[in-house]
Chain A
Amino acid sequence: MSSNGNGADLLLECRSITKSYSGHVVLDGVDFSIRRGEVHALVGENGAGKSTLIKIITGATGRDSGEMVYDGTVVPMDHQRRDAEALGIAVIFQELSLIPGMTVAQNIFLGKEPLRPLTRLIDVRRMNSQAQELIDRYEFPLKPTDIIDDISIAQRQLVEILKALSGKASLMIMDEPTSSLTKTEVEMLFKIIALLKSEGISVLYISHRMEEVYALSDRVTVLRDGRLVKVLDKGEISPEEIIRLMIGHKLEEKAVQHELSPKGGAVVLEVRGLTSLGKFEDLSFDLHEGEVLGIGGLVGSGRTELVRALYGADPYDAGTIRFLGTEWIPSVKKSIENGIGFIPEERRLQGILATQSITRNIGIPNLDRIAPRGIVNVKEEDRRAARGIEMLNVKPPRPEQLVGNLSGGNQQKVVLAKWLVRDLKLIFIDEPTVGIDIGAKEEIYEHIRALSARGVSVILVSSDLPELTRLSDRVIVLRRGRFFREFRECVLTGEKILRAASGIREGDDE
């Protein structure tokens, strides 16, 4: 066994785990351990290396170097997903992995169904009764014969948990399990975690939500930029301390400090009491000409839903919007016609037409200009595409190139180009630089600044704190769909935003 003195009570021990993707180091000599029967939280900013570490533990990806011992067994370098399952490591993913058309029992026992003796036929009655036993044990509001399609997201998460438990898991990994749950559902999940703990099952919990983390955890491991920062014991855990460790010395860097100076020009957008049930509630704010308004908040705080509603992509339930002084009920078509643009959260799923050329991608929101009477003016279409490619420095600069074959950064530039070749008054930008390289990132920042300088108003949603602080003139922080705090005329840091997003109330800062 382990030579380490307390090896006996360690379920998982990782030593100097290193991993890099195409030359970029994402985990740099990380030590990490989980004790038997503890609830352990893993925290860090986006890109700190949390997901990579989880992937290595569950065998979804390999490690470059470092040792792993699980339950006294040395984990080999070619650790695979099914090996992890055999060891007793279960994962509940952000995207659920259930089969929608099948029943609860069928999903729980997928691939390990009880069979009739001497046959390969599934014993449905026994499968359902075994599922019922599991459900009864944890008092979950489920029936073995419920179809997954017909139950709520929270219930589906319970099925995932049962699926893992039916396989005799000794470690349950939950990847941001609360991002799509209501308050009562979160409470229920907490009860379940306590129950798992009482059965001696270790829980590894990855969340951005601070109060949940400190309420639940026995220990917290903080990662930053691919390195282990600190492991906090129960007594040391506080949200302030976790945030301080997550952000670290980056606070002192000039780049993340930003002097906010709200612009006082004409009001472009006036939002009053905007509400979309279950998404956001009673939001009111003004947006001025040429202003970059940053919207901060955790995943699930209603940021994306807010900008989608303002653009007209989704309906809302109550409240009023005024655009340039007149009553405004948005629709995508009206927005585009009136100089409003939208850069969606997920580039591949919502932004690009992968099988179409750069020209066609840039052309699509500009059909009103390149085909005003329904017939495409090819010269105008080519001219706009060429202008977009040049403005954004898209590489390769070939208009006929299919956008699906471009790099992530260049795809995002094309998405931006669609709107920059128009006369804009307002643009909503949601997570503009996720998964793109640093060079393209800086170029995109320049364009956002240039838009603002030209008098175009910008609403920027971002989980990248330095990005939000650098680009914004003013920042509103949402929490659980409600307005939580506004930052104006102060020196803004990522830490302040994160503290507000995590629900820490404090007096007005210096």
Chain B
Amino acid sequence: MNKKPIATELRLAIVLVPLMAALTILSPRFLTLDNLTNVIWSVCFIGILSSGAIYPRITGGIDLSLGSMAALSGIVVDLFMNRMGIAWIPAILMTVVIGALVGLFNGFIVAKIKIPAFVVTMAAKTYLYGIALVVSQGAMLAILEPKPFILISTGRFLGLPNPIYIMVALVIASQFLLRRTAFGRQVMAVGSNEVAARLSGVDPDRVRLISYTISGGTSAVGGVILASLTQQVFAAAASGIELDVMTALVIGGTSAVGGRGSVVGALIGAIMVAFIINGLNLLNVPNLYQPIAIGTVIILALLLNEGYLVPKRRTLSRA
């Protein structure tokens, strides 16, 4: 009992190894460059979204609007570049700012009007999807220009796809924000005990506003990366991704009630989610059955995090 418990991140990494080994044995196609590249792209997308979505989660809330926000961002960046003729860099920056503003609006309703985040962001998910439909006229739009924009996701640096660098940069920045700044301390404090945090000088409303703003911003970044990768944008482009992100967060040890969480853990969670989906595909499990598998994984991860399934003492003595 007195031994220091192993960090969640390490425990997750340990689980990852047998998972990969099993997939390697079960499917000869698993350890191929093509397949791993596919997995990496999905890890990048989930990882980028998780690096921001973790903040509302730790404060005890949730952002369910990130899939719609990402899809809308793809449509908006295309609108800026290809219909309004704005250069690609300012177009991306403006898109990210819009995402952040939508997040700020969500945060305002959650923090100031005190409506549960679940309801607020569920509504946002719906109206953002609606706006995306209207702006895209319900069509699937192809993005063929400008070339530098396409290269953001399709290009490689030192042999690795560019989105990896973007994702790693965001994860590091987010982990730094969470672990090494006053804001990160305040996010944890608000999620742990809002009343005590307030009496110790933390402004919980401000912390919430910023948290949802960050989540909106990273959703927009993810949407831009996705648009550049797939070269097509449509309102349902990232539909359901919020579930994958929440799964990654849960697996990564972010508490469902707030006050606990790790960005690196979430990244490992994202890798596991991507591997599991990929593994199911490789093993020819029909698409129809995959949500059952994901749902089961969420429940197992929750039970594990709350200390069920594995007797506590055995977990500790493995350190």
Q: Assess the B259–A364 pair: CB atoms within 8 A.
A: no
Check A375 for interface membership: any CB of B closer than 8 A.
Answer: yes
Say if the beta carbon of B181 comes within 8 Å of chain A. yes
In contact, A367 and B182 (Cβ under 8 angstroms)? yes
**Residue pair B198, A378 in contact (C-beta under 8 Å):** no
B70 proximal to A (CB < 8 A): no
Q: Are A371 and B192 interface neighbours, CB within 8 A?
A: no
Q: How far is the CB of B117 from chain A (nearest CB, A)?
A: 19
Q: Are A332 and B201 also in contact (CB < 8 A) when A353-B189, A360-B188, A400-B4 are? A: yes
Give me 7 other A-B pairs in contact (C-beta within 8 A), A353-B189, A375-B182 excluded. Answer: A313-B198, A332-B201, A352-B196, A353-B192, A353-B197, A367-B186, A374-B181
Q: How far is the CB of A352 from chain B (nearest CB, A)?
A: 6
Residues of B within 8 A of A367 (CB): 182, 185-186, 201
Nearest-CB distance from B96 to chain A (Å)? Answer: 21
Closest 10 CB pairs of A and B: A371-B182, A353-B192, A355-B259, A365-B200, A336-B201, A367-B182, A364-B200, A355-B192, A350-B195, A353-B193
Q: B213 an interface residue at 8 Å Cβ cutoff?
A: no
Complex CA gap A376/B184 in Å reads 9
Interchain CB contact under 8 A, A355 and B260: yes
B288 to chain A, nearest CB (A): 38
Does A315 sit within 8 A of B, measured CB to CB? no
Looking at chain A, what size class is its interface with the partner chain? Answer: 20 to 34
| CA distance in complex: A349, B192 (Å) | 11
Query: What mask results when residues 443 to 487 of chain A are scored 1 for a CB within 8 Å of chain B, else 0?
Result: 000000000000000000000000000000000000000000000
- Per the bound structure, the CA–CA distance linking A150 and B200 in Å amounts to 32
Inter-subunit contact A376/B200 (CB<8 Å)? no
Q: Does A116 contact B (CB under 8 A)?
A: no
Contact A313 B199 (CB under 8 A): yes
Closest to A357 in B: B188
Interface residues of A in 125-177 (CB under 8 A from B): none
Residue A316 at the B interface, CB < 8 A?
no
Write the chain B residue with the least CB distance to A349.
B195
Q: Are A356 and B183 in contact (CB under 8 A)?
A: no
Residue of B191, B197, B200, B259 most packed against chain A (CB within 10 A): B200
Binary B-proximity of A380-409 (CB < 8 A = 1, otherwise 0)? 000000000000000000001000000000
Interface residues of B in 171-224 (CB under 8 A from A): 180-186, 188-189, 191-193, 195-203
Chain B residues 215-267 with CB under 8 Å of chain A are 255, 259-260
Q: How far is the CB of B205 from chain A (nearest CB, A)?
A: 13
* Cβ contacts under 8 Å, B203 to chain A: 333
- For the complex, what is the distance from the CA of A418 to the CA of B195, rounded to whole Å? 15
A231 close to chain B: CB less than 8 A: no
Supply 17 A–B pairs (Cβ within 8 Å), ascending by A. A336-B201, A349-B195, A349-B196, A350-B193, A351-B196, A353-B192, A353-B196, A353-B197, A353-B259, A354-B192, A356-B189, A356-B192, A360-B189, A364-B185, A364-B197, A376-B180, A376-B181
- Taking CB atoms and an 8 Å cut-off, the chain A residues in 332-380 that contact chain B are 332-333, 336, 342, 344, 349-356, 360, 363-365, 367-368, 371, 374-376, 378
A311 to chain B, nearest CB (A): 8
Chain A residues with CB under 8 A of B201: 332-333, 336, 364-365, 367-368
- A336–B197 Cα distance when bound, in Å, is 13
Which residue of the partner chain, among B182, B188, B198, B199, contacts A356 with CB atoms under 8 Å?
B188
In the bound complex, CA of A344 to CA of B180 (Å)? 28
Taking each of B181, B182, B196, B197, which has the highest tally of chain A beta carbons within 10 Å of its own beta carbon?
B196
Q: How far is the CA of A364 from the CA of B183 in the complex (A)?
A: 10
Given A353-B193, A367-B182, do A342 and B199 touch, yes or no (CB 8 Å)?
A: yes
Interchain CA distance A378-B260 in the complex, whole Å:
19
**A333, B203: Cα distance in complex, Å:** 9
Give CA–CA (A273, B189) in the complex, Å: 35
Shortest Cβ distance from B176 into A: residue: A375
Interface residues of B in 26-47 (CB under 8 A from A): none
| Total residue contacts A-B, CB cutoff 8 A | 78
> A363's contact among B185, B195, B199, by CB below 8 Å, is which?
B185
Find out whether the CB atom of B196 lies under 8 angstroms from the CB atom of A371.
no
B185 contacts A332, C-beta separation under 8 Å = no
Contact digits for B1-16, partner A, Cβ 8 Å, 1 yes 0 no? 0001000000000000
Task: Give chain A's interface residues, CB within 8 Å of chain B.
Answer: 311, 313, 332-333, 336, 342, 344, 349-356, 360, 363-365, 367-368, 371, 374-376, 378, 400, 418
CA distance A27 to B203 in the complex (A): 45
Kindly state the separation between the CA atoms of A206 and B192 in the bound complex, as whole angstroms. Answer: 35
- Chain B residues, CB < 8 A from A355: 191-192, 255, 259-260
Chain B residues within an 8 Å CB radius of A342:
199
Contact B255 A344 (CB under 8 A): no
A375 vs B182: C-alpha distance in the bound complex, in angstroms?
Answer: 6
Given A336-B201, A400-B4, A371-B181 contact (CB < 8 Å) = yes
Residues of A within 8 A of B4 (CB): 400
Task: Compute how far the CA of A350 lies from the CA of B200 in the bound complex, rounded to whole angstroms.
Answer: 10
> Closest approach, in angstroms, between the C-beta of A364 and any C-beta of chain B?
4
Closest B residue to A332 using CB positions: B201
Known contacts A363-B185, A371-B181; is-contact A418 B255 (Cβ 8 Å): no
In whole angstroms, what is the CA distance A31 to B180 when docked?
Answer: 60
Distance in angstroms from A165 CB to nearest chain B CB is: 36
Are the CB atoms of B182 and A374 closer together than 8 Å? yes
Q: List residues of chain A with CB within 8 A of the CB of B197.
A: 353, 364
Q: Are A332 and B180 touching (Cβ within 8 A)? A: no
In whole Å, how far is A419's beta carbon from the nearest beta carbon of chain B? Answer: 9
Q: Is the CB of A375 within 8 A of B180?
A: yes
C-alpha spacing A344/B193, complex, angstroms: 13
**Chain A residue nearest to B182 in the complex (CB):** A371
**Contact, CB under 8 Å: B199 / A332:** yes
Chain B, residue nearest A343 (CB) = B199
Q: Which residue of A lies closest to B198 (CB)?
A: A332
Cross-chain contact A360 with B180 (CB below 8 angstroms): no
- Contact (Cβ within 8 A) B185 A350: no
Q: With the chains together, A311 CA to B118 CA distance in Å?
A: 34
Q: Which residues of B contact A352 (CB under 8 A)?
A: 193, 196
CA distance A446 to B82 in the complex (A): 72
Residue from A350, A360, A368 having most chain B Cβ neighbours under 10 A: A350
Q: Which residues of B contact A350 (CB under 8 A)?
A: 193, 195-196, 199
CB nearest to B260 among chain A residues:
A355
**In whole Å, how far is B236's beta carbon from the nearest beta carbon of chain A?**
36
- Provide the bound-state CA to CA distance between A374 and B183, in Å: 7
Among the listed B191, B199, B259, which residue makes an inter-chain contact with A344, where contact means beta carbons less than 8 Å apart?
A: B199
- Which B153-178 residues have C-beta < 8 A from chain A? none
Quick one: closest A residue to B188, CB to CB? A356
| Contact indicator A375/B181 (Cβ below 8 Å) | yes
Indicate which residue in B185, B196, B199 contacts A376 across the interface (CB closer than 8 Å).
Answer: B185
Contacts of A351 on B, CB cut-off 8 Å?
196, 199
Query: Cβ of A356 and Cβ of B180 under 8 Å apart?
Result: no
Tell me, in angstroms, the Cα distance from A349 to B195 when the chains sit together: 7
A311 neighbours in B (Cβ, 8 Å)? 199
**A368 to B191 alpha-carbon distance, docked (Å):** 20
Residues of A within 8 A of B260 (CB): 355
Q: Please give the distance in Å from B182's CB to the nearest CB on chain A.
A: 4
Alpha-carbon gap, A400 to B192, bound state (A): 16
Contact of B259 with A356 in the complex, beta carbons under 8 Å? yes
Residues of A within 8 Å of B200, CB to CB, are: 336, 364-365, 418
Q: Is B192 a contact of A376 with CB atoms below 8 Å? A: no
Instruction: For residue A59, give the distance in angstroms from its CB to the closest CB of chain B.
Output: 31
A364 touches B189 (CB 8 A): yes
Nearest opposing residue in chain A for B2, CB measure:
A396
Bound CA span A333–B206, Å: 13
